[in-house]
Amino acid sequence: MEKALKALLTHNDHLFRRTHDIGELALACLQHEPPLEPLLRAAAPLTEYAWRFRYPGEVFEPDEQEVDDALQIAHRVVTDVRVAVGQMLV
C-alpha cells in the first residue's frame, strides 16, 4: 500500500520525502485524487504496519480480525490507486 501511494505521487511528479508514514503520503495523494479521502483516512492508522515488523523491539502480533481488516483496507487502496493511475493514462 505504501508503494502504491508513492507510485501515485511519482506518477503526478509530486516530490515526497523518504517516509513510511501512510498518513503523510495519503495527505499528499489527496492533492491529486480527492475522491480517495475516506479510504485514505481509514488507511492512515496502518502506518504502524509499515515499520513495526521492520525494526527490532517488542514482539507484536495482531489478532486475526485486525489482520483481516488491515488487509482489506490495503487491498482497496492498491486497487483504487491502480484505477486512478489507469484513468490518468487514458
- pLDDT tens by residue, 8-42: 999 999 999 999 899 999 999 999 999 999 999 99
> How sure is the predictor about 44, in pLDDT bands with cuts at 50, 70 and 90?
very high
- Give residue 89's pLDDT: 60
Residues spanned by the domain of 69: 2-89
Q: What is the Cα–Cα distance from 69 to 59, expressed in whole angstroms?
A: 20
User: How many structural domains are present in the chain?
Assistant: 1
* pLDDT > 80? residue 53: no
* pTM (predicted TM-score): 0.84
Q: What is the Cα–Cα distance from 18 to 40, expressed in whole angstroms?
A: 19
Q: Do you know the residue count of the chain?
A: 90
